[in-house]
Amino acid sequence: MLDRDLAWRDMADKAEKRELLSSYRAKRRTDGTTEPFGGALPAASGGPLRFVIHHHAARNTHFDLRLEMEGVLRSWAVPKGPSPNVADKRFAALVEDHPLEYGDFEGKIPDGNYGAGWSIVWDRGIWHPTGDPIEGLRDGKLLFELDGQKLHGTWTLVRMKSGEKDWLFIKEYDDQASEAGTDDYPMNSVFSGLSIDDLEAGYNPAQDILKRLGKARVPLARIEQPKPMLARSGDPFDRKGWIFEIKYDGYRLLCEKNGDDVTLHSRNGNDLSATFPEITQAVARLPYESIIIDGEAVVHDLFGMPSFARM
């Protein structure tokens, strides 16, 4: 194939991916919302596929199911939310594709913007399609497994005869099915632990903790120079009740928030706030006046493995 033909194919592929998010961008203003505007990314090849469910208090409170597909998040609005009961056939309206970065979005969409209101990450994890998901989407039946923090087991999306965008979200028979309903799931965010009701009421968990500490007359410690927690060597073992985390290949960070000021420090004390603006903004939105978070910034490759070269 000629280089010219390869160039045209590459341009056509990029144009197609831009088209996937054209409806999403047309409904939003970059100067009016903190929602991400990233472009479609290359479709995962053999790697894990992400899913996320938002609980969104817009004009009508609903849930949004989002499945990673073709480098974007294919999205369905589910008014009544997911149910583990196989008898519950939940209506799901196919809406515009969202960028993959939206899987990390949590916050308040300002008044006057499309979808104004609080939105939390209600659940997230990995989804495993049965068969080709693109064909399933086209044919009107998408069967898949969810491995999330709240939802598990086999689910299906079935297109209704009433319209191309009208679907049903249904739990399939398996050991994860039950006679419970949506309200039996925890309603809190898997990120902050707060619910939509907490956020709308202005609940501040930091103030609540301080009040309880005051009643208990617990002296408040002052951290002058925080340092990252480091692993200690020990003898290998395998005992019930213990799990081991993988070694991440990234940057160790101490995220410090004091009021509106947020600083990211390396383990050597260097300021990395400008290096990781997305993390800086995410910490700034946390509902705490003062907090220090010890963690590691990691970038994954298309197979879900940490990749220091991508940082």
Range of the domain at 114: 3-200
CATH number of the domain residue 287 falls in: 3.30.470.30
Q: Is residue 94 part of a domain?
A: yes
Q: Is residue 231 part of a domain?
A: no
Task: Report residue 184's pLDDT band, with 50, 70 and 90 as the boundaries.
Answer: very high
Q: Is residue 232 part of a domain?
A: no
Which carries the bigger pLDDT value, residue 298 or residue 242?
298
pLDDT at 279 over 80: yes
What is residue 280's predicted lDDT score, i.e. its pLDDT?
Answer: 84
Quickly count: other Cβ atoms within 10 Å of residue 20's Cβ.
19
Spatial distance between the Cα atoms of 22 and 38, rounded to a whole number of angstroms: 11
Q: Is residue 108 part of a domain?
A: yes
What is residue 282's predicted lDDT score, i.e. its pLDDT?
Answer: 81
- Looking at 150, 185, 200, the residue that finishes a domain is 200
Q: Is residue 283 part of a domain?
A: yes
Q: Is residue 173 part of a domain?
A: yes
Q: What is the pLDDT of residues 41-69, one digit of tens each?
A: 665 556 789 999 999 999 999 999 999 99
Same-domain status, 186 and 245: no
What is residue 196's predicted lDDT score, i.e. its pLDDT?
Answer: 92
* Interval 259-275 mean pLDDT: 86
Spatial distance between the Cα atoms of 84 and 142, rounded to a whole number of angstroms: 17
What is residue 12's predicted lDDT score, i.e. its pLDDT?
Answer: 44
Q: For the whole model, what pTM was predicted?
A: 0.68
pLDDT at 116 over 60: yes
Same-domain status, 128 and 250: no
Same-domain status, 170 and 244: no
Q: Is residue 229 part of a domain?
A: no
Catalytic sites, residue numbers: 247
Task: Report residue 10's pLDDT band, with 50, 70 and 90 as the boundaries.
Answer: very low
Q: Is residue 230 part of a domain?
A: no
Which carries the bigger pLDDT value, residue 280 or residue 124?
124
- Looking at 155, 184, 200, the residue that finishes a domain is 200
What is residue 115's predicted lDDT score, i.e. its pLDDT?
Answer: 92
- Looking at 152, 185, 200, the residue that finishes a domain is 200
Total domain count, the chain: 2
Which stretch of 164-178, 218-232, 276-290 has the lowest confidence by average pLDDT? 218-232
What is residue 5's predicted lDDT score, i.e. its pLDDT?
Answer: 43
Give whole-number Cα distances, 237 to 233, 234, 242, 243, in Å: 12, 9, 9, 10
What is residue 259's predicted lDDT score, i.e. its pLDDT?
Answer: 85
Same-domain status, 83 and 161: yes
Which stretch of 89-98, 154-163, 199-208 has the lowest confidence by average pLDDT? 199-208
Same-domain status, 13 and 107: yes
Burial class (CB in 10 A: 0-12, 13-18, 19+), 306: middle
Same-domain status, 196 and 209: no
pLDDT at 8 over 50: no
What is residue 2's predicted lDDT score, i.e. its pLDDT?
Answer: 44
Which residues fall within 8 angstroms of residue 288, CB to CB, at 6 or more apart?
Answer: 204, 205, 206, 257
